[in-house]
Structure formats: structure tokens, C-alpha cells
């Protein structure tokens, strides 16, 4: 009944708003809406949270916009890579946007996130800009790591984002270390350590989880299960692909990772749990449309039907679009306009990033140390190229 009244109210607002020719979606209301997640949560050694998620029109519209932005950024990166403006490794996140966006909705910038190399969208969620992102991908000095990191090494410490790591699994003990430091400093914040189904088998993950549980660290392990570790399907790599249960004595939750609201609910739940009871594992059931990286077509180990099937049935952006439309929070045209704006924003950022120069050659020798002690460092021909580290 409450929902009907809500619908009537928003319908009326929509009607009156439709009359005026300019309605700004950013003035959307913050009146609460209750939405059911499409799938229930499954718990391991814990009672799962309710399927009923509190949200607002403003939040749903921002989910849509943020995910559309992330989607557009990754697609644009694909083109830039093919145009050889991005070199080396480029691991794209399109399909998984709901995890990044749902998580951000549940936490603050004082909570920490650390992930592996599929990090562009997480960076954006933590407050990174499109310019910093594209410039870094193209190795320019306006990049978030001044062009010296590349796709896999985005960081934003002031936004609570600790990278951006190239070694599969290493980020999990590092994340537990962040949680250790948060507890040591009595910060009342948590760390989300993200990893994939491939990394889930790494030994160091279990070493870190053991210590996190032993010492009650506020660590939340997020397994982004996109079902393929590079070219190897989960059932070929893991004896037990129920990653949310792999913590054994550590509780876990299986979450529909294509549903931003489910992700938000789970992360909120996990944060409360971790602050009181120590580590918890969240398995996000998600999917990547691209291959493992730009060198992988992504179709030799899975069928095109599977990929298009997920896109049709479970796409995270389409889900939010349907939700917005069914609640009359915006019209189809308004959402399409948002997508056009987002595309324009991305194109402008790319144009700006292309203008950004490559780093100065002297940057070869900067940041090797915080305190270089006036020591000499050498280039390939040490008689030709040497520098004093400040």
C-alpha cells in the first residue's frame, strides 16, 4: 500500500514535471523507496541481511549515471587500446559496474578499498576523475600516477583507494594490513579487499584471512566472481567454487553482483559485521563482458550466447533503468539524455587527456624513494644518463 501511494506521488510529480520543459535529474528527491533484491542472499555461518533495500530516487539516478559513466569509460578505453594509445595491459570492468557503485553507496571515503588490476572503475568510484584515468592509461603526466603506473596502478590514498595491484592475490594480505592499521589506529573504519575467482585459490589469501580472523581485523574480502580466471572457468580451477564458503570459520555471503542495491545492502551489512566481529567474505556473482584483458577476445573459453545472455538478462545498468522507469523517477528520454551527457563527458576527458604531454624525462628518476639521500641513480648508459635522487 505504501508503495502504491509512493507511486502515485511520484507519478503526480512526474506529470507536473513533464509540463516544464527543463527538469534537472539532480534535484531528484531523497524520499525513501524500498526495493527487493531480485535474488535472496545466501549465508555461510551467518544470517543473511534482508532482501528489502532502502534507497532513494536520488540514489537510483546516481547509480544509473555512475554506472553509465563507468561503462562508457571502459568502452572508450577499448577503442583507445585498439588505436594503440593505451599500451601493455588493459583489463576492463564493463559488466561489473554494480559492484563498484553499490559498494561506494554503503561506505565512506574513510573506509579503504584495495583491488587488483581491473581497477579503473573502482578508482572512479573513490573520487578519481576521467581525465586522471585516461591520461594514466595513455601514460601522460596528468594521469593519477603521473603516467608512471599505467592501467594496473591507479591509486588515490586521499580517497581511501590503495590500488591497483598487478600480482594476483597480493592485494588481499595488503588489504588485511590496511584493516590492521585501521584497528591499530582505532579508526572505526573498514577495508574492502577485492579479488577475483582466480585469486581466490591463492595461499596468501588464506594466510591473511587466518590472521584477520585471529586478530578480529575489520577486513571485508570481496570475491568478484566473474566465473573465469583469465581463460579458466571456475569449475576447472577450484575444487569448491563456493567462494563465500571458502573462509571456513569466517562467515560469508553470496550476493547477486549485477544488482547494485544487493551489493549496497551486503556491503552495509558487512561493514557493521566487520567492525564488531572481524572478517567476512562477500562473493559477488558478477560477469565481465570483455575478455580477461585487451589481448584476450574472451570468446575462446565461453560462448557468445553466454555473453549476450548475461547482457540481456542481468545487465546492471539495464536493471537500474527498469527500476527507475517502473518507479517513474525519470523518463526514458531523460535517461537517454543522461547517457548522452556521459558520453560527451568521456569524449571531452579523452580529448583533454590526449593533450596532456608525456612525463618529462627527468621523471624517470623521481619517486624511487621518498628520501633519496642524494644518491646517484643510473640510466641504461651510466656514463650518459645519471641523476641524483633528492
Partner 1 sequence: MLKILKQKAVSAPLLRAVVLSSRNYSVSAKQMNVREALNSALDEEMSADHKVFLMGEEVGEYQGAYKVTKGLLQKYGPERVVDTPITEAGFTGIGVGAAYYGLRPVVEFMTFNFAMQAIDHIINSAAKTNYMSSGNISVPIVFRGPNGAAAGVGAQHSQCYAAWYGAIPGLKVLAPYSSEDARGLLKAAIRDPDPVVFLENELLYGEYFPVSEEVLDAGFSIPIGKAKIEKEGKDVSIVAFSKMVGFSLKAAEILAKDGIDAEVINLRSIRPLDRSTINASVRRTNRLVTVEEGFPQHGVGAEICASIVEDSFGYLDAPVERIAGADVPMPYAANLERLALPQVEDIVRAAKRACYRSVPMSAAA
Interface contacts to partner 1, rule CB under 8 A: 112, 114, 144-149, 153, 155-157, 162-167, 170, 172-182, 184-185, 203-204, 206-208, 210-211, 214-215, 366-371, 373, 375-377, 382-383
Spatial separation of the C-alpha atoms in residues 194 and 224, rounded to whole Å: 7
Spatial separation of the C-alpha atoms in residues 278 and 295, rounded to whole Å: 39
Cell of 203: 595461499
Q: At its nearest, how many Å lie between partner 1 and the CB of residue 385?
A: 14
Kindly tell me which of 70 and 178 has the beta carbon lying closer to partner 1: 178
Q: At its nearest, how many Å lie between partner 1 and the CB of residue 177?
A: 2
Kindly tell me which of 50 and 204 has the beta carbon lying closer to partner 1: 204
Kindly tell me which of 92 and 114 has the beta carbon lying closer to partner 1: 114
Q: At its nearest, how many Å lie between partner 1 and the CB of residue 386?
A: 11
Say which DSSP state 10 is in.
H
Spatial separation of the C-alpha atoms in residues 200 and 350, rounded to whole Å: 35
Question: At 52, which helix (H) or strand (E)?
Answer: strand 52-55
Cell of 215: 586478530
Question: Per the omega criterion (within 30 degrees of 0), is the bond before 164 cis?
Answer: yes
Q: At its nearest, how many Å lie between partner 1 and the CB of residue 214?
A: 7
Spatial separation of the C-alpha atoms in residues 269 and 88, rounded to whole Å: 38
Q: Got the DSSP string for 63-101? A: HHHHHHHHHHHHHHHHHHHHTTSS-S-----TT-HHHHH
Question: Distance between alpha carbon 215 and the CA centroid of its chain, in Å?
Answer: 27
Spatial separation of the C-alpha atoms in residues 346 and 78, rounded to whole Å: 13
Kindly tell me which of 11 and 378 has the beta carbon lying closer to partner 1: 378
Alpha-carbon distances, residue 80 vs 74, 87, 138, 182, 217 (angstroms): 10, 9, 8, 38, 41
Q: At its nearest, how many Å lie between partner 1 and the CB of residue 187?
A: 9
Kindly tell me which of 128 and 298 has the beta carbon lying closer to partner 1: 128
Phi, psi of 210 (to 5 degrees): -60, -45
Cell 633528492, residue located: 390
Contact present, 144 and 120 (Cβ < 8 Å)? no
Kindly tell me which of 217 and 307 has the beta carbon lying closer to partner 1: 217
Spatial separation of the C-alpha atoms in residues 153 and 135, rounded to whole Å: 13
Q: At its nearest, how many Å lie between partner 1 and the CB of residue 140?
A: 12
Q: At its nearest, how many Å lie between partner 1 and the CB of residue 171?
A: 8
Buried b (16+ CB within 10 A) or exposed e, 230-255: eeeebeeebeebebbbbbeebbbbbb
Kindly tell me which of 8 and 368 has the beta carbon lying closer to partner 1: 368
Kindly tell me which of 111 and 224 has the beta carbon lying closer to partner 1: 111
Q: At its nearest, how many Å lie between partner 1 and the CB of residue 170?
A: 6
Q: At its nearest, how many Å lie between partner 1 and the CB of residue 370?
A: 4
Q: At its nearest, how many Å lie between partner 1 and the CB of residue 180?
A: 5
Kindly tell me which of 9 and 364 has the beta carbon lying closer to partner 1: 364
Kindly tell me which of 203 and 276 has the beta carbon lying closer to partner 1: 203
Spatial separation of the C-alpha atoms in residues 56 and 105, rounded to whole Å: 11
Amino acid at each position: 500500500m505504501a508503495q502504491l501511494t509512493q507511486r502515485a506521488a511520484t507519478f503526480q510529480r512526474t506529470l507536473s514535471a513533464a509540463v516544464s520543459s527543463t527538469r534537472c535529474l539532480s534535484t531528484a528527491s531523497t524520499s525513501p523507496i524500498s526495493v527487493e533484491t531480485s535474488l535472496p542472499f545466501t549465508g555461510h555461518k551467518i544470517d543473511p541481511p534482508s532482501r528489502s533495500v532502502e534507497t532513494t530516487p536520488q540514489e537510483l539516478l546516481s547509480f544509473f549515471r555512475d554506472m553509465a559513466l563507468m561503462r562508457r569509460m571502459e568502452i572508450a578505453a577499448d577503442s583507445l587500446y585498439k588505436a594503440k594509445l593505451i599500451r601493455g595491459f588493459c583489463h576492463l570492468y564493463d559488466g561489473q559496474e554494480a559492484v563498484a557503485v553499490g559498494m561506494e553507496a554503503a561506505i565512506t571515503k574513510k573506509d579503504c578499498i584495495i583491488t587488483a588490476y581491473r581497477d579503473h572503475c573502482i578508482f572512479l568510484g573513490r573520487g578519481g576523475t576521467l581525465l586522471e584515468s585516461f591520461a594514466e592509461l595513455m601514460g601522460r603526466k596528468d594521469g593519477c600516477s603521473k603516467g608512471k603506473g599505467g592501467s594496473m596502478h591507479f591509486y588515490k590514498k586521499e580517497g581511501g583507494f590503495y590500488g591497483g595491484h598487478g600480482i594476483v592475490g597480493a592485494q588481499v594480505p595488503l588489504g588485511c594490513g590496511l584493516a590492521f592499521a585501521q584497528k591499530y589506529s582505532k579508526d572505526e573504519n573498514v577495508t574492502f579487499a577485492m579479488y577475483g575467482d582466480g585469486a581466490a585459490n591463492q595461499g596468501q589469501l588464506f594466510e591473511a584471512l587466518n590472521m584477520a580472523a585471529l586478530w578480529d581485523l575489520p577486513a571485508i574480502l570481496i570475491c568478484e566472481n566473474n566465473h573465469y580466471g583469465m581463460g579458466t572457468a571456475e569449475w576447472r580451477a577450484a575444487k569448491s567454487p563456493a567462494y563465500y564458503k571458502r573462509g571456513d570459520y569466517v562467515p560469508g555471503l553470496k550476493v547477486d553482483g549485477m544488482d547494485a542495491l544487493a551489493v549496497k545492502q551486503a556491503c552495509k551489512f558487512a561493514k557493521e559485521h566487520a567492525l564488531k566481529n572481524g572478517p567476512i567474505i562477500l562473493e559477488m556473482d558478477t560477469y565481465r563482458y570483455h575478455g580477461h584483458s585487451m589481448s584476450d577476445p574472451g570468446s575462446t573459453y565461453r560462448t557468445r550466447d553466454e555473453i549476450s545472455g548475461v547482457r540481456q538478462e542481468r545487465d546492471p545498468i539495464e536493471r537500474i533503468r527498469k527500476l527507475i522507469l517502473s518507479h517513474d523517477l525519470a523518463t526514458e528520454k531523460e535517461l537517454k539524455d543522461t547517457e548522452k551527457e556521459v558520453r560527451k563527458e568521456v569524449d571531452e576527458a579523452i580529448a583533454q587527456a590526449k593533450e596532456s604531454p608525456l612525463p618529462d624525462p627527468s621523471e624517470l628518476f623521481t619517486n624511487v624513494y621518498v628520501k633519496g639521500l642524494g644518491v646517484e641513480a643510473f640510466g641504461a648508459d651510466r656514463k650518459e644518463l645519471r641523476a641524483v635522487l633528492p
